[in-house]
Amino acid sequence: MWLTVVFKLKNVESWADSGHEVAWMQTQLENLTALSILDVPSSSIHIQIHSSKLEHNISGHSFSFNFDRAQGQLTEWISQGQVVFTKDPVTGSALTPSFWRAPTDNDMTSELPYWKRFGLDAMTSQLRSLEISSEQGCVRLNIHTYLSAPILAWGFNAKMIYTITASGGLTIKIHLTPVGSMPKNLPRIGLNVRLHESFDNASWLGLGPGEAYPDKRSSQKHGWYTATTEELYTPYEVPQENGNRMETRWVEMLNRQGKGVRARMSTNGQQVRFN
């Protein structure tokens, strides 16, 4: 919880109207006990596992997950009849670890050539193993892949654990182990997620309402914000990395019917739910 103090003009001045914000400050109050996400009791709901030569399908009362058996990647998530995650036309995956981002003007002279020399813009994924286990109320997929640049002798052993609950929730845990002589720095460490195009309204708890990067984060306030996907884009004169919001606790992407997906960080992994 944050306390926000704002100083505004009471009267009209020659340089600003009444109500103009002159200064502000924020301080974090003592953390309150967080509310838990209520889940549908899972003991009485059955999860089905169907496997073919091409994919594994995990399904329940109102949801379905598809995993590619050759690549070990999540390719589709359907919940309550709505497509949530869908295949990327290039990678064929709906969710994959990524170390690349669009470069900025500051990256062009030194970092960009260095990153490309290590092939960070062309990483590939090779499946090493895929195991499925079923427990009371959930199905767990342990997937081991090797992420590397073509030809070069370095990469990451990636161990991804997908836990699917009987109520349709998804928790993702990823452990990366460097292999070989890796670059001294990376453009980013994250996940590329291919959401259905209907989710074009964002809500988030974190810094905003504008961009929040290390060099200008102090200009943004902690709070709850909403924006369309178009409004999240910053039209720089030279197209480059843009739109980041640091210190985000959770984010929702909703469609026009108010249905959508929420992702939040937790001590146990990245949690994603469709509501």
Average pLDDT over residues 65-94: 94
Residue 256 to residue 240: CA distance in whole angstroms? 29
| Phi–psi pair at 232, nearest 5 degrees | -75, -15
Tokens 């949530």, residue located: 84
pLDDT above 50 for 35 = no
* Euclidean distance between CA atoms 180 and 184, whole angstroms: 12
Tokens 């306030």 locate to: 221
Say if residues 75 and 58 touch (Cβ distance below 8 Å).
Answer: no
Sorting pLDDT into bands at 50, 70 and 90, what band is 112?
Answer: very high
The pLDDT value recorded for residue 40 is 41
Determine the average pLDDT of the residues in 2-26: 85
Q: Are 165 and 60 in contact (CB under 8 A)?
A: no
Q: What is the pTM of this model?
A: 0.82
Residue carrying structure tokens 């290039």: 90
Identify which has the larger pLDDT, 26 or 71.
Answer: 71
Residue type at 26 in one-letter notation: Q
Dihedral pair phi/psi, residue 80, rounded to 5°: 55, 40
Q: What is the pLDDT of residues 217-271, one digit of tens each?
A: 999 999 999 999 999 999 999 999 999 999 999 999 999 988 889 998 776 656 6
Question: Which neighbouring-strand residues pair with 174?
Answer: 160
pLDDT at residue 41, rounded to an integer: 45
Given this model, what pLDDT does residue 31 score?
57
Rounded Cα gap, residues 206 and 250, in angstroms: 8
Topology, domain 51-196: Beta-galactosidase; Chain A, domain 5 (2.70.98)
For residue 5, pLDDT over 90 is answered with no
Separation of alpha carbons 47 and 166, rounded Å: 6
Question: Is the separation of the CB atoms in 93 and 68 below 8 Å?
Answer: yes
Give the number of other CB atoms < 10 A from CB of residue 264.
15
Tell me the mean pLDDT in the region 192-221: 93
Q: Is the pLDDT of residue 67 over 70?
A: yes
The pLDDT value recorded for residue 274 is 61
Half-sphere exposure of 124 (CA within 13 A, CB side): 9
The residue among 60 and 273 whose pLDDT is bigger is: 60
pLDDT at 126: 95
